[in-house]
A = this chain, B = another copy of it.
Amino acid sequence: MPKIVDHDERRREVLSAARRVIVRDGIDAATTRAIAKEAGYSNGVLAHYFADKDEILLSALRQSHQRIRERLTRKTEGATGLAALRELLLDNLPLDAERTQETRLEVSFWSRSLASERLAEVQRAEAAELRDAVRTLLGEARAAGELTTDENLDDITERLLALVDGLSLHLLLYPGRLARVDMERLMLSTLDHL
């Protein structure tokens, strides 16, 4: 009897393995061989599911974003405007172990994207989605009279997103200087002053 292979399951396993290697050893170390070894498959099996290393890396990034989106949908259920925006922005900060791993993955992709137009395109598309979500919630907040600032909403959006990435990066790079509690306080006080 032929062995029944769950192809979706295998793909997910390979992508989880890729994420673990990137987060643990850095994106440079995430070779096809290292990912195959971590997943417990041969290079041949990987080649069956993914055209090349870039496709594995891109799929791993997309899979991570999909998990974030699902978690966020749960967290913001029923919320609108400033309350939903607060949840969304805090969720994007490395405030626990799971999100710290997600942030390490993102930071790893930033520099790689500067050298690869294919990765950069995916990052731009995913980032545009987050930008639109923030902009929409700011619009709701203003319509509901929750904002005191009259600054234009596109500018506020860009500033908030820059702050999220900057704080996240600094927490990873300078753990002795910035603690999670500081990062959360800085983000919340920024929102309180909108």
B185–A155 contact, CB under 8 A?
A: yes
Measured between beta carbons, the chain B residues less than 8 angstroms from A161 are 166, 170
Measured between beta carbons, the chain B residues less than 8 angstroms from A172 are 114
A104's contact among B109, B114, B185, by CB below 8 Å, is which? Answer: B114
A123's contact among B131, B173, B185, by CB below 8 Å, is which? Answer: B173
A155–B114 contact, CB under 8 A?
A: no
B113–A110 contact, CB under 8 A?
A: no
Pick from A5-13, A44-52, A73-81, A174-182 the stretch touching chain B: A174-182
What's the Cα separation between A124 and B176 when bound, in Å? Answer: 9
What's the Cα separation between A169 and B176 when bound, in Å? Answer: 23
Q: Give the secondary structure class of A's interface.
A: helix
Measured between beta carbons, the chain B residues less than 8 angstroms from A113 are 173
A170's contact among B104, B151, B158, B177, by CB below 8 Å, is which? Answer: B158
Which of A25, A26, A176 has the most chain B CB within a 10 Å cutoff? A26
What's the Cα separation between A166 and B158 when bound, in Å? Answer: 9
Using CB atoms, name the residue of chain B closest to A116: B26
B173–A162 contact, CB under 8 A?
A: no
What's the Cα separation between A119 and B110 when bound, in Å? Answer: 17
**Which residues of chain A from 67 to 125 have a CB within 8 Å of any chain B CB?**
104, 107-116, 120, 123-124
- Shortest distance from the beta carbon of A175 to any chain B beta carbon, whole Å: 9
Using CB atoms, name the residue of chain B closest to A104: B114
A140: CB under 8 A from chain B? no
